[in-house]
Structure 1
Amino acid sequence: MAGQDGGAVTVVRAVRVWPVAGQPAGLPEDLPDAIAAVAVAPAGPSWPEHRARFAIEVVGDGVSGWHAPVGESVARLVVDTLADGLVGHDAAAPRKLVYRQRAGRHQHGAHARQAASAVELACWDLASRASDRSVPELLGGTVRARVPAYASALGLDPAHPEAVKAAAWIADQGFWGQKWPLTKEVLRQGPRVVGRVLGALREAAGEGRFMVDGLRRCRLDEALTLLPVLADLEVAFAEELLEPGGFAWAQVRTAGVRVPMAAGEHAVDEHEQTRLLAGGVVDVWQTDPGWSGGLARSLHTIEVAADLGMATFPHGDRLWAALALAGACCRDKVPAVEWHLTLEPLRQQVFAEAAVVEAGLLPSAPGAGLTPPPVITSPLPVWAVGS
């Protein structure tokens, strides 16, 4: 297809930033009773990047690509450091994107990588809409039209008396598995209490897979005493008991108690991803395409992880991008994606069409485009670069 001046319709003519609604306070409406009874109000509304949120639009000839939501710091980086170089780029040539001109000195770190990821994901959205082909097709072919989801119970209180009912409800819904947090309150009470709390949840989960997330809260001594408990529970993986890759992490890895260790969602720069993957540091890989550089980079690390014998479970912050990756990969490479029981319904509110889990499965693509269009809250963009 050609544009008005003879160029491809996927050539970016402008970059615009639009406001979308901030994350509302409190829990989402219509949570199942079993989940609502043990849910903890999310902290998101207290974070600046959740109060003021934006959508990135890359404009082609008669078609646009979108990515949302991003915080103000990331949106400003897109405008100030990436937009000028993006204008004139062909979104259908994703491998060339990293070589486009950038402004400013700050090209690394979490916000810089989120900005680069947002631009890359918006370009995939534009290329998909212009070609009327799904993103998994553009990534090499759709392997699965529907993808298993595991339930993240990180917004729930594992020590609540009704938590076992929530674990049973998750199992009944057909989720691939369920992941529970190791809260500070439970950790302070020692490994016996942790074993009792998690053991009750594990029993309620039945034959489903069971995981835990330490949220980097464990001290080294706590992590070492927890390993036999987690081994007895036969957890599918333990995510980030403490900071991945450091001295304490190495001590846990060599403690002699075999518990699969998962990390990767916070490895935003390429060198950190390579260090964790190639250094034998992790057993289960977790990439976030909204933080790690985008789809192409995430797909690369998924392939590397598979070569090293590791499965990948994409982090749930960018659900639609995670689903596109899973749709282009077999189940051995990406067994399931993360569905956050209390946060994901809030994340989905920025889209015109929300994702819904049915029998533990999600569609690998919404059709043409990487994501459904975002719901814009203003008739005019906040910032615009190009024509």
Structure 2
Amino acid sequence: MARSISDTGSVVRAVRVWPVAGQPAGLPDSLPEPIAAVAVPPAGPSWPEHRTRFAVEVVGDGASGWHAPVSEAVARLVVDTLADGVVGHDAAAPRKLAYRPRASRHHQGAHARQAVSAVELACWDLASRVSGRTVPELLGGTVRAHVPVYASALGLDPAHPEAVKVAAWISEQGFWGQKWPLTKELLRQGPVAVARVLGNLREAAGEGRFMVDGLRRCRLDEALGLLPVLADLRVAFAEELLEPGGVAWARVRAAGAGVPMAAGEHAVDEHEQTRLLTGGAVDVWQTDPGWSGGLARSLHTVEVAADLGMPTFPHGDRLWAALALAGACCRDKVPAVEWHLTLEPLRQRVFTDPGAVEAGMLPSGPGIGLAPTPVITSPLPVWTVGS
């Protein structure tokens, strides 16, 4: 006899929000020597959203699903606009989550989408723990037990004399590739300086894949001047040289030069994702399951990108969700996920069992559950909705 919905154990009975530790100041301990020599202390601890952080718990019958960390602004949106509607939802029926009632008319924008993502990811965690199946299995089946990782060197100074040692070290460690930032100082010096600095890194990287991230800092004239340089460097992709999707972006796209253009991590709303994907604006798709509406939405955009001939490289802010997404996809759809060399060790401190890269690979999940359980810093939740 089929079980009733109340007997599944995956029905959400309550939503709780718990405090977790803020991001510590400075760099992580025990950084490899080449990285430590050129690392720049992260700005994150100066941001309120990183100093005060929380974990979202969806409580089932005998099990809980978790997502962490989220900022106070996102946690309040979860409690004020989503929690009442989530109570009673069966996490084993993910397609129904979007139809649960919300206590707000405002469902778009970065914080609103992060709140939706947090609840959705916590529900996947609950469904996995109750069913005893991994999240990639729940997404349709595990295609890869291990996923290649590319090294993000965004926390490093590319112009530092020792940076070439880092580029060589990354290749030696077996990473899928490496991505370097176009810093404000480097852009100010012009294309000749960019060619010299990145050329040295490219040479040190050997045959490994090489990418750059403009962090949306380029002016139109700077981006146009950089295209020949990036083409000579044979970059696998150039990420967000400037704001994606606008007039300036279109002019850079029209200039061509054979440089694949990447974007998507900041496209948090569905209409913006669809516009970028189908409007010929990008060559490489980047989604973040923690920002874009969750795993189901991210998987949808990965499939659309693949149909349009684009690979997807999930953004690294929600590493465990990105790994689950990649684990359910073949390497042509998701060749690799991002590992931030200086930030990711700090991000992983919120979990009971932090992840670590081995030979340029990570497991597609921690086993049962979407991610390891977060480390809670209080015996009592900050907010509770439901029983």
TM-score normalised by structure 1 residue count: 0.99
Return 199-208 or 100-109, whichever deviates more: 100-109
Match of 1:210 in 2: 210
Matched residue type, 1:274: T
Q: Find the residue that maps to 1:362 and give its secondary structure.
A: strand
Structure 2 counterparts to residues 277-316 of structure 1, below 5 A: 277-316=277-316
Q: Find the residue that maps to 1:216 and give its secondary structure.
A: coil
Quickly say closer, same or farther: Cα 1:176–1:12, change in 2 above 3 A: same
Structure 2 counterparts to residues 1-387 of structure 1, below 5 A: 6-387=6-387
Residue correspondences, number: 387
Name structure 1 gaps, 5 residues minimum.
none
Q: Deviations over 1:184-241 (max 9, x none)?
A: 0000001000000000000000010000000000000000000000000000000000
> How far apart are the structure 2 equivalents of 1:337 and 1:107?
28
> How far apart are the structure 2 equivalents of 1:78 and 1:240?
30
Once the two structures are aligned, what percentage of the paired residues are identical? 84
Deviation (angstroms), 1:298:
0.1
Is the 2:5–2:11 contact (alpha carbons within 8 Å) kept by the matching residues of 1?
A: no
> How far apart are the structure 2 equivalents of 1:125 and 1:96?
16
> How far apart are the structure 1 equivalents of 2:88 and 2:223?
51
Q: Deviations over 1:66-105 (max 9, x none)?
A: 0000000000000000000000000011100000000023
TM-score normalised by structure 2 residue count: 0.99
Q: Deviations over 1:237-256 (max 9, x none)?
A: 00000000100000000114
> How far apart are the structure 2 equivalents of 1:62 and 1:257?
57
Give the ranges of 4+ consecutive aligned residues of structure 1 lying more than 4 Å apart after TM superposition.
Answer: 1-6
Matched residue type, 1:79: V
Quickly say closer, same or farther: Cα 1:222–1:6, change in 2 above 3 A: closer
Q: Find the residue that maps to 1:37 and give its secondary structure.
A: helix
Please report the RMSD computed on the Cα atoms of aligned residues, expressed in angstroms.
1.3
Is the 1:4–1:61 contact (alpha carbons within 8 Å) kept by the matching residues of 2?
A: no
Deviation (angstroms), 1:5:
9.7
Is the 2:245–2:281 contact (alpha carbons within 8 Å) kept by the matching residues of 1?
A: yes
> How far apart are the structure 1 equivalents of 2:312 and 2:6?
41
> How far apart are the structure 2 equivalents of 1:200 and 1:257?
21
Deviation (angstroms), 1:106:
2.0
Name structure 2 gaps, 5 residues minimum.
none
Matched residue type, 2:198: L
> How far apart are the structure 1 equivalents of 2:282 and 2:239?
10
